[in-house]
Amino acid sequence: AVKPSYDPNYFNQYSRDFWRNRAVTDAYEPGSTFKVITIATAMEERVVNLNDQFYCEGWTKYNGTVFHDIHQHGSQDLTDIVKNSCNIGVIQTGTRLDEKVFEKSIRRFGFGALTEINLPGEINGLVRSTKDWSRISLASLSIGQEISVTPLQLIMAVSAIANRGTLMNPMIVKEILDSAQNKIKIFKPKPVRQVVSVDTALTMTKILEQVVNDGTGTRAKLAGYQVAGKTGTAQKFDFSTGKYSEDKYSSFFVGYVPAENPKISIL
């Protein structure tokens, strides 16, 4: 479901902006929501573990370029850097990865390709090959820059974590009934591939629970349910200056519930 929506019977009463299914027709830099992919990949490749320590003094330099964080988080472990959405800690983690390994993982999560949901206007988004990366792309990608994704791609990728590491083919029709309510066709869920191990996915879920419990995502708490999720605030690129804007952002939350046995994903 996409909101805000419109009544197609009276489409002429709505702006053309409402006609698009933004879940598949629009692409955005995912910002900090993409840290889920970075950390899951790093754990899967065993370049990081839960006990590793990171130090954030509010900035770091990678290949001559300074990256900033809005806070000085100090000493943190892996759960902390996700819970606090610490750019510095995630960059320190992501840059441990081999570039080709990271690109392959990004694509295995479904980014840069059509989901084949069979809705009109779907676009691929943008994932560049490593041969087109700059000297800072590994760091930038780690925090969700230099990539554009559709909302459907993003929720599909995070749902793979919810599904114990299995990427699923998105569906919009469960079954077709005849006039007597008999089922004449059933569409069964189709796994695409295993993107990370079950252990990595379960560990990532525990980390994402802490984001909601006492991290940047506390507004997503639901009474009686454990929610797992990740916030994201992505700077918009200003094409007039060729730089990221200092005052224009896209804000996201992506998550799933109940965390221990997910039934619903939402972005």
Q: How many CA atoms lie within 13 A of 226 on its CB side?
A: 11
Q: Are 201 and 165 in contact (CB under 8 A)?
A: yes
Q: Which of 32, 105, 140, 265 is catalytic?
A: 32
Cα torsion 68, 230, 172, 20: sign: negative
Asked whether 136 and 95 are in contact (CB, 8 A), the reply is no
Nearest Cα to Cα of residue 190 among 168, 173, 175: 168
Residues 6+ apart with CB under 8 A from 247: none
Phi and psi at 184, nearest 5°, equal -105, -15
32 catalytic residue (yes or no): yes
- Known catalytic residues? 32
